[in-house]
A = this chain, B = another copy of it.
Amino acid sequence: MDPFLQAAISEAAAGLSEGGIPIGSVLVRQGIILGRGHNRRMQQGNPILHGEMDALQNAGRLPAHIYRECTLYTTLSPCPMCSGAILLYGIPRVIIGENQTFMGEEELLKSRGVQIEVVQSPKCVDLMRRFIEANPTVWNEDIGET
């Protein structure tokens, strides 16, 4: 498997082990991970720390030309907030672990020129499917549904 998607999955697994929602992400430029993170809603009571946002936060302040050479890996199709962050910073490429358990704003991203690749990783699907079955209320809170 792509080592960067594997790193994102490791982040998702770390989140699960902390009692959190298993979604992870890494920001990669020229073969180097600039930032990595995972969803921290449960751990920090924080509604803005989706996995992708946590990875961007952990990468710290970067100039636009760096973001424009990056690929964002995420275990799950990015929601409107995370897709908006991708658009804000002009990240040109997003590798998505799966979009079977949740379909994010892939069409919006594509319409703005972002290159999207969906891996449909069984490991990513399994992590989310188990979590959602066990914790439907938490999951629906995370995507603004209940």
Contact = CB atoms under 8 A, between A and B. Distances in A.
A131 interface: no
B47 A62 contact: yes
A67 interface: yes
Oligomer: number of copies: 2
Given A47-B61, A57-B47, A88-B80, A144 B67 contact: yes
A81 interface: yes
A82 to B, nearest CB: 7
A122 to B, nearest CB: 27
A53 interface: yes
A64 B47 CA distance: 11
Chain B CB within 10 Å, residue with most, of A49, A57, A59, A108: A57
A31 interface: no
A100 interface: no
Interface residues of A, number: 36
Nearest to A68: B144
A60 B84 contact: no
A105 to B, nearest CB: 7
A64 B144 contact: yes
A60 B88 contact: no
Contact of A45 (B60, B64, B67, B89): B60
A59 B64 CA distance: 29
A99 B21 CA distance: 36
A87 to B, nearest CB: 4
